[in-house]
């Protein structure tokens, strides 16, 4: 397994399997399970493996049918490609919620189409029944058809309202995602600008710091000389405080 990890970027699956004297399927399965990108995997396959390794992928499989899940995978890959895979956790969650909303929009459109076909069928049944002589018309069937038609028409309005809400939500999510990325970009640019300005001002800072250090050094020397000089104590004795070897030497010299 260590050999696969060390060589999956340089060797093909076929070459790795041959060198290990193994079949290709176990090698490919290990690479997929460990989310390793081999040379013969294109970007789409790599990103697909990335998505399927996410902790939320299992929930998506529960929430969507096979067709919707395939759509979600393609959208996830397209978003990550659009952003060159440079996506923060917050942005990834925004992308995920956008995809969920898109799936709901598509699901609503499919349900709306089914409802439209139901309306057309009911209208056709009513028309066919009305074309019969009045004595041969099934009044109970007509009443049922009209009831079902009214419900279907009401559902049509509900689908339209729900569709508009989901579109508004998607627009807001995309706007938030754009805002998040633009803010991150501005922060990066500000950091770069601040660093550049700091580099330009560095010589001035160094000169100011050097001046302050020199002033403090002079003040320290003066204080050292003053404190190391002879001192008259309260008991009348005159003596020189021992600060270090230099003051002792000076006292000896005296």
Average pLDDT value for the chain: 81
- Range with lowest mean pLDDT among 3-7, 171-175, 238-242: 238-242
Half-sphere exposure of 8 (CA within 13 A, CB side): 19
Residue-wise DSSP of 118-152: HHHHHHHHHHHHHHS-GGG--HHHHHHHHHHHHHH
For position 184, what pLDDT does the model report? 76
Could you tell me the pLDDT band of residue 252, with boundaries at 50, 70 and 90?
very low
3-state DSSP percent of the chain in helix, strand and coil, to 5:
80, 0, 20
With beta carbons less than 8 A apart as the criterion, state whether 150 and 116 touch: no
For position 129, what pLDDT does the model report? 87
Could you tell me the pLDDT band of residue 37, with boundaries at 50, 70 and 90?
low
Read off the pLDDT of each residue in 125-146 and give the average, rounded to a whole number. 89
CB crowding 96-124: b at 16 or more within 10 Å, else e: bebbbbbbbbeebeeebeebeebbeebee
For position 180, what pLDDT does the model report? 80
For position 39, what pLDDT does the model report? 46
How many angstroms separate the CA atoms of 83 and 239, rounded?
78
This prediction's pTM: 0.54
Read off the pLDDT of each residue in 124-133 and give the average, rounded to a whole number. 90
- Range with lowest mean pLDDT among 32-41, 135-144, 161-170: 32-41
Which comes out higher in pLDDT, residue 57 or 185? 57
What percent of the chain lies above the pLDDT cut of 70?
83
Could you tell me the pLDDT band of residue 122, with boundaries at 50, 70 and 90?
very high
Could you tell me how many residues make up the chain?
Answer: 254
3-state secondary structure 31-51: HHHCCCCCCCCCHHHHHHHHH
**What interhelical angle do 66-82 and 89-131 show, nearest 10?**
140
Encode pLDDT of 177-233 as tens digits.
887 878 777 766 656 666 666 667 777 777 777 778 887 878 777 777 777 677 777
With beta carbons less than 8 A apart as the criterion, state whether 241 and 227 touch: yes
For position 253, what pLDDT does the model report? 46
For position 59, what pLDDT does the model report? 93
């Amino acid at each position: 397994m260590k050999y696969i990890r060390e060589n999956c970027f340089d060797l093909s699956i076929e070459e790795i399997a041959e060198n290990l004297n193994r079949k290709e399927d176990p090698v490919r399965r290990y690479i997929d399970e460990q989310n390793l990108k081999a040379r013969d995997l294109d970007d789409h396959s790599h990103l697909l493996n990335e998505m399927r390794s996410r902790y939320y992928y299992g929930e998506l499989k529960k929430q969507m049918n096979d067709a919707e899940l395939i759509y979600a995978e393609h959208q996830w890959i397209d978003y990550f490609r659009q952003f060159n895979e440079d996506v923060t956790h917050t942005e990834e969650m925004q992308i995920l919620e956008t995809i969920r909303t898109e799936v709901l929009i598509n699901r609503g459109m499919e349900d709306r189409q089914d409802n439209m076909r139901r309306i057309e069928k009911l209208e056709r049944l009513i028309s066919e029944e009305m074309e019969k002589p009045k004595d041969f018309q099934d009044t109970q069937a007509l009443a049922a058809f009209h009831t079902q038609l009214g419900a279907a028409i009401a559902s049509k309005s509900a689908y339209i309202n729900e569709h508009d809400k989901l579109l508004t939500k998607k627009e807001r999510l995309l706007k938030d995602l754009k805002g998040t990325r633009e803010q991150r970009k501005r922060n990066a640019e500000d950091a770069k600008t601040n660093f550049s300005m700091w580099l330009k001002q560095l010589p001035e800072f160094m000169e100011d710091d050097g001046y302050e250090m020199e002033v403090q050094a002079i003040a320290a020397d003066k204080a050292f000389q003053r404190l190391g000089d002879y001192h008259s104590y309260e008991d009348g004795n005159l003596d020189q405080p021992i600060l270090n070897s230099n003051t002792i030497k000076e006292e000896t010299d005296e």
